[in-house]
Amino acid sequence: MNISGHALNMAIYFSALLFFAGISFRIAGWLSVPNPLKIPTTPAPLTPAGTVARMLGELLFFRSLWKADKLLWAVGYIFHLSLLLVVLRHLRYFLYPVPESILRFSDIGIYAGFTLAASLLYLLARRLIIDRVAYISNVMDYFYLLLIILISMTGLLMKFFFRPNLIEIKDLMLHAAALDPIAMSAGMSIFFLVHLSMVMLLAALFPFGKLMHAGGVLISPTRAMVNNARRSRHINPWAEKEWDTMLSEADKETGAYMPWSPEQWRDRWKR
């Protein structure tokens, strides 16, 4: 077997594995922690259906961000939408035949490449310029931004200046996607290799950092919980055990931890 020709395939599988396994692992981790109390923030819908609508509003329109900062909302929205369109356009490298519906998005995908890059540059600039955002930005915040900027730049360069051999690439990717990898030929475009490596790096890191906000937003208890605490009881799974432990450890002498019953209390205060 041609090891160097397959190194790329191995990297693809490895990053894909990290991506999917990592995401599942993180989400399972969050879900394993209970919500002891109902904590939705206003304006919180009173019914499950209303809550679903609220979540869709967050997911599709970033409604909370709209309230916070209109410019950031606009740029953030353009960024995420562009990303979606660009990803959709890339599906044609993994699917054969390419479905009609995806082809229809393909041309917009090219413009999206530009808006993607432009919005990223703004996001980077505001981290450097706005004093509050500069203060809170950390190494990884810059790292992810630069990584995606690099990915989008190499993508645009390939599209307009250094066109790689698309037939060859598509062949490679289709086989990889069908779990029937073929060796990469020598002389593959360097731009493509950089582009793909950065994507793999991003995919591999995705589950382990802040990019997981994509999964977390749907679970966030202040958004996803229904506002019906008075009408329907929410159960805290660890409450009973904790209460019993407290009582068993309670120090009868000092009264530490002791919830007074009405009788005990009246006795003490002679009421």
Partner 1 sequence: MEEVDKKDINDLLKWKKIKPEVPELTGNISVPEIKLWASLDYKSQLLKQKDALKRLGLPSDGLVPDWKNKFLAKMGEMLKKYRSVRLFMDICVRCGACADKCHYFLGTKDPLNMPVARQELMRRVYRRYFTISGRLFGSRLGSADELDEEMLALWYTYFYQCSECRRCSVFCPYGIDTAEITMAAREILNSVGLVQKYTYEIVDKAQNIGNNLGMVPDAIVNSIEFVQDDLKEQTGIDIKIPIDEVGAEVLFVTPSADFFASPHIESLYGYAKVFHQAGISWTMSTYASEGGNFGLFSHNYNQMKIINKRIWDAAKELKVKRVVCGECGHMWRVLSSFSNTMWGPFDWLDQRYPAPQHICEFTLDLINSGAIKLDKTANDDLTVTFHDSCQVARGSELGGKIDGQFEIPRALIRECVNRFVDMHEDTIREKTYCCGAGQGLLGDDMLPLRVKGAMPRMQALKRVKDSHDVNFLALICAICKAQMSKIFPLYGYPMEEVGGILQLVSRSIVLRNKEGV
Segment 119 to 178, residues that bind partner 1, using CB under 8 A: 126, 130-133, 135-141
CB of 221 to partner 1, least distance (A): 5
- Give backbone dihedrals phi and psi of 153, rounded to 5 degrees, phi first: -65, -50
Please tell me whether residue 36 binds partner 1 under the rule CB under 8 A.
yes
Taking the least distance from each CB to partner 1, the nearer of 102 and 217 is 217
* Token representation of residue 82: 């562009």
Tokens for 99?
């479905």
Q: Quick check: 69 binds partner 1 (CB under 8 A)?
A: yes
Least distance in angstroms from the C-beta of 254 to partner 1: 5
Which is closer to partner 1, CB of 132 or CB of 186?
Answer: 132
269 binds partner 1 (CB under 8 A): yes
248 is a site residue for partner 1 (CB under 8 A) = no
Cβ closest to partner 1, residue 161 vs residue 269: 269
202 in contact with partner 1 (CB under 8 A): no
Site for partner 1 in 76-115 (CB under 8 A): 76
Q: How far is the CB of 177 from partner 1 (least distance, A)?
A: 29
Per-residue HEC secondary structure of 76-115 comes to HHHHHHHHHHHHHHHHHHCCCCCCHHHHHHHHHHHHHHHH
The one segment of 96-104, 111-119, 187-195, 249-257 that binds partner 1 by CB under 8 A: 249-257
Structure token digits, residue 153: 């730049």
Cα gap 9→119, rounded to integer Å: 31
Longest dimension (CA), the chain: 93
Residue 1 has, within 13 A of its CA and on its CB side, a CA count of 9
User: What letter does residue 93 receive in the DSSP assignment?
Assistant: G
